[in-house]
Chains A and B, each alone.
Chain A
Amino acid sequence: MRRNGKGASFLSTKESKKSKSKPSASNGKPTRKELEQLVEDLRWMYRIREFEDQSMRAFRNGLAGGYLHVYTGMEAVAIGWIGEKREDDPVIAAYRDHAYPMLMGVSPYEVMCEIMGRRDGTSKGKGGSMHLYSAEKHFFGGWGIVGGHTAMGAGLAFAIKYRGEDRVALCFYGDGAANAGIVYEAMNMASLWDLPVVFLIENNQVAMGTRLEYHAADPELHKRAVGFGIEHERVDGMDVIQVRKDAARILDYVRKNQRPYVVEVMTYRFAGHGAADHDQSLYRSKEEVEQAKKRDPILLLSQYLLKHGAIEESDLEQMQKEAEKEMAEVYEKASAAPKPDPHEVYEDVYTDMQPEEGH
């Protein structure tokens, strides 16, 4: 079992020397196919970032209410892990959840409609930004009680094992959630029963406004797997090339060994916790954010692709413009979409009956 604690800090601009993976593609000569994949990844980074800008715009313009948490800065984690999982591997996640369903095949329009509370939304407007789902694409939400969904993540794997299916459950949660007790009930049972689940900590190093060093007795959260005899490690989450390698290796391990895994993916959110996080100076400096942006996943990947001649500078501008245009259209279309009808308020509480009507 590896204890590579500080091996892959998000601030590090070097490759992780201690990684179990073969050297990153950036060290060797990538194949044409790899480069094509990475260009697609870069396109996705722009799309997700533009989508999130539009979702923030919706919030500012009063078209989205409640809580809104954007994924800006963390794109490489979802792109890498969802990119490496198989199509029918189920995913469950917390509330910063706009990127996952889109990467799994849900249209940005449906996600934006849900954020705006429209009938065309993934949950017909009854879930909202934090509660996106797609049964068809194996996305199990979209959950707002911090840490609360992790036992369900193990439950997805329980069903996989019960039926003898060749699938791996992927459970995303944050560094804040890593302090919730239920996570450890889930880990214990996952290990006890050999469940094929990846507990994936997206460690963006601040739980809402409380920094890692103020909320975790040992900030190396992956080490908490030790007590359950689960393989664990900390890896980088900003360089999508490395993320893909680690994801492929770990998913393969879980599939082959039918064992759970705890992976702490070091990342950083460039945006505030939520749309209502108005004063980030309460928990971090501008300098820290600027430093982190030196490892912006878009920057790292575009530099790599430029270096290998897979794209030209003008392509970057082109991709950005395309993403801007696409997501601006998504915004316009969603903001003109119909709202749910009043009678729909009673629907989908139960499968076969409605609650009593009226106040």
Chain B
Amino acid sequence: MAELAYREALRRALIEEMDRDENVFLMGEDIGRYQGTFRVTAGLFEKYGARRVVDTPISEPGIVGISTGAALMGLRPVVEMMTMSFSILALDQIINHAAKVRYMSGGQFSVPLVIRGPGGAANQLSAQHSHSMEGWYAHVPGLKVVAPSTPSDAYGMLKTAIRDDNPVIFTENPGLYGIKGEVDDDEFLVPFGKAVVRREGTDLSLVAYSRMVHVCLEAAERLDKEDGVSVEVVDVRSLVPMDTDTIFASVRKTHRAVVVYEDWKSGGFGAEICTRIQESCFDDLDAPVGRVGGLNVPMPYARNLELQCIPNADDVVEKSRQTLQGVI
């Protein structure tokens, strides 16, 4: 069992899958000679050459379009978006082309394409580089969307993504690249559509994915220490397909839920999770489903304002206390 940083775990998955399958290749801006903006692809250009690690012009729609065409022919492209914010340029190629061709062709074609990259706020990247895009993509039939929170999941889910025959949006919060965690030395896959309970509890369920899982774990710790309540943390990790069974089982146990997501609060994917809980667990709930999301403003530059926008443990603790009224 080795301790790997999140970015190293991703890199290990890329190497193993490229070694396993000649059809897997990487494409993106500055991923080769420049080693990748977040160094996920460091050394891979030297290892595999320009044929399989393709440096592209700054042409996101073109990159996704060419990759989709190659995928229609049976190759398995892994596209890096320098940031998921740039994938907005390629929305037409992703949504109108890659996601729909299987349906529009009556199942004749599939698109084994992975689009991966950092999604969410980093450190003062301001309004155009801080988007959380996963909710946009989770809205679209034909796409699978995952958001792993740990190095082990990053490794196992990227391998699953590359082997999936459907287009997969694989979002990596930039705040996670440096975090370290145990990753089994033996090869393994983490399946899509399986949530995981990161911390057991009995009084409240915090439901989150990606970096917000860590924020929830911190909040849970504080609620335990400061209020003496037992908080469960559910890591959704796969948005499409979503494992509602695990989420509902947790809510039916604790009778209270707060959903936490970094994306803009209004219309974000967390709202979908809240609705699912409300639709299926209404009789089990002792309080309205709480929600913590990003502030509904373009991301500001000033660090204090930026931090104000991104949900933190304080925000989660505060909402949890409201939801726990009567218990504490």
Contacts and interface: CB of A to CB of B under 8 A. Distances in A.
B266 interface: no
Contact of A140 (B72, B96, B166): B72
Nearest to B165: A351
Given A162-B25, A182-B65, A188 B57 contact: yes
A159 interface: yes
Contacts of B103: 126, 348-349
Contact of B102 (A155, A159, A348): A348
A355 to B, nearest CB: 5
B68 A123 contact: no
Contacts, number: 149
A157 B72 CA distance: 11
B62 A186 contact: yes
A73 interface: no
Interface in B40-96: 51, 54, 56-57, 59, 61-75, 92-93, 96
B97 interface: yes
20 contacts: A121-B106, A126-B106, A127-B105, A133-B106, A140-B72, A148-B92, A148-B93, A151-B68, A151-B69, A152-B68, A159-B73, A189-B57, A189-B59, A192-B57, A348-B102, A349-B103, A351-B165, A351-B166, A352-B165, A353-B193
A185 B61 contact: yes
Contacts of A230: none
Contacts of B104: 123, 126-127, 131, 133, 141-142
Interface in A120-170: 121-127, 131, 133-136, 140-143, 145, 148-160, 162
Nearest to B64: A151
Given A162-B70, A185-B57, A189-B56, A148 B106 contact: no
B72 A156 contact: yes
Nearest to A197: B69
Interface in A250-267: none
A347 B66 contact: no
Of listed B54, B70, B71, B74, residue having the most chain A CB within 10 A: B70
A140 B109 contact: yes
B101 interface: yes
B228 interface: no
A315 B202 CA distance: 86
B73 A148 contact: no
A348 B166 contact: no
A124 B107 contact: yes
B268 interface: no
Contact of A133 (B66, B69, B71, B109): B109
A143 B59 CA distance: 20
Of listed B62, B64, B92, B93, residue having the most chain A CB within 10 A: B62
Contacts of B72: 140, 152, 155-156, 159
B66 A152 contact: yes
A150 B109 CA distance: 17
B108 interface: yes
Task: Give chain B's interface residue range (CB within 8 Å of chain A).
Answer: 35 or more
B11 interface: no
Contacts of B73: 90, 155-156, 159-160
Interface of A: 90, 92, 121-127, 131, 133-136, 140-143, 145, 148-160, 162, 181-182, 185-186, 188-189, 192-193, 347-353, 355
B132 interface: no
Nearest to A127: B104
B149 interface: no
Contacts of B74: 159
Given A185-B61, A192-B57, A347 B166 contact: no
B256 interface: no
B240 to A, nearest CB: 9
B112 to A, nearest CB: 9
Contacts of B298: none
A152 B97 contact: yes
A155 B107 CA distance: 20
Contacts of A140: 69, 72, 109
A127 B110 contact: no
Given A156-B70, A347-B107, A185 B62 contact: yes
Contacts of A126: 103-104, 106
A126 B67 CA distance: 24
B32 interface: no
B62 A188 contact: yes
Interface string B103-130: 1111111100000000000000000000
Contacts of B267: none
A151 B65 contact: yes
Contacts of B105: 122-123, 127, 131, 133, 135, 141-142, 348
Nearest to B75: A159
B66 A350 contact: no
Nearest to A135: B108
Contacts of B96: 145, 148
B69 A156 contact: yes
A185 B37 CA distance: 22
B76 to A, nearest CB: 11
Given A151-B66, A162-B70, A133 B110 contact: no
A162 B61 contact: no
Of listed B51, B97, B110, residue having the most chain A CB within 10 A: B97
